[in-house]
């Protein structure tokens, strides 16, 4: 039996649906009742991921956990101490779940972390799983601290921990900025990004789910950290053109030099957004390929076409 925490989220839902189609025995843990899962999937209410959470019933008879639950980036976070809030959920909550998993006899714990643990931007070379962590935000710091706690727990208890650090995840129904960009491109709104020639790694939802499911049982995955991507890095301008093509549109990109964009963004307090759009963030997945004999399941173009079809279908409903 496999427990998926955060099963009502973008990634958790995909893990449950794909795992069920592959014939796995799954228990979906979420905070909401009434969710319709595929036939054969057990459902359990989990409450929030927190230090005081009781997971004993959810973990009964479970062999492996896929921990997709987390407090993610919060736009305009009103918390007086964002780092404390991230730590409360992503560190204390995750380690509480893992400790109870050990007590329940769980064999393997798959933890979805973030490429932000490595850092915010790459320059001379891509990130690797062995790089010294340089978490750049409260969210990334909390993910790094959770990783440290899980590794210590693995050493002390024998729990097999697998850490996966994805970059931006996209796919049908992707939340956040990716969906906003689809809407902008669909409406034909011009964007000042035609002269951005950075290099960024992304990962399609299908590819990330595929790696998670392989990591559940592959003997070489135990106590390893993996980076994941689609295996093709794109500039922001190239990505926008491919997204527009998938929508049947032409991207209207104005060639504003990247230094000008960064300077203007800093003036308006949007430096982080400019870094994400203009900076490079590449990941090296050679370790993931070699240890797990893994290859991305779908290409960037295939994933963008799936995403665009879902977006357009939603516009018609």
Known catalytic residues are 139
Q: How far are the Cα atoms of 40, 44, 198 from residue 26, in angstroms, in the given order?
A: 8, 11, 40
Using N-to-C axis directions, what is the helix angle for 177-187 and 236-246, rounded to 10°? 60
Count of C-beta atoms within a 10 Å radius of residue 298: 17
75-83 long-range Cβ contacts below 8 angstroms, 24+ apart: 82/138, 83/138, 83/141, 83/142
Q: What is the torsional sign of CA 275, 179, 174, 51?
A: positive
In this structure, what token pair is assigned to residue 237?
């301008």
In angstroms, rounded to a whole number, what is the distance separating the alpha carbons of residues 309 and 169? 17
């Amino acid at each position: 039996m496999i427990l998926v925490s955060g099963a009502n989220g973008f990634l958790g839902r995909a893990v449950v649906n794909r795992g069920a189609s592959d014939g796995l025995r799954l228990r979906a843990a979420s905070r909401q009742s009434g969710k319709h899962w595929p036939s054969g999937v057990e459902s359990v209410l989990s409450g929030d991921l927190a230090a005081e959470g009781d997971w004993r019933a959810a973990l009964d008879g479970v062999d492996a956990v896929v921990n997709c639950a987390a407090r993610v980036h919060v736009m305009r976070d009103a918390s007086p101490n964002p780092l404390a809030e991230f730590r409360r959920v992503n560190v204390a909550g995750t380690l509480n779940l893992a400790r109870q998993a050990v007590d329940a006899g769980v064999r393997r714990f798959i933890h979805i972390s973030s490429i932000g643990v490595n850092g915010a931007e790459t320059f001379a070379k891509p990130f690797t799983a062995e790089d010294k962590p340089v978490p750049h935000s409260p969210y990334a710091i909390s993910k790094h601290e959770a990783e440290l706690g899980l590794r210590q727990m693995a050493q002390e208890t024998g729990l097999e921990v697998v850490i996966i650090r994805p970059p931006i995840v996209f796919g049908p129904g992707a939340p956040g900025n990716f969906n906003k960009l689809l809407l902008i491109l669909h409406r034909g709104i011009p964007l000042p990004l035609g002269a951005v020639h950075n290099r960024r790694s992304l990962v399609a939802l299908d590819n990330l789910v595929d790696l998670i499911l392989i990591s559940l049982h592959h003997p070489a995955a135990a106590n390893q950290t993996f980076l994941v991507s689609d295996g093709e890095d794109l500039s922001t301008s190239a990505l926008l053109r491919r997204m527009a093509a998938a929508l049947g549109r032409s991207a209207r990109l104005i060639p504003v030099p990247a230094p000008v964009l960064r300077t203007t963004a800093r003036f308006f307090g949007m430096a982080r957004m400019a870094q994400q759009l203009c900076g490079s963030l590449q990941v090296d997945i050679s370790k993931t390929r070699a240890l797990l004999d893994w290859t991305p399941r779908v290409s960037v173009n295939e994933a963008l076409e799936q995403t665009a079809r879902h977006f357009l279908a939603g516009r018609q409903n």
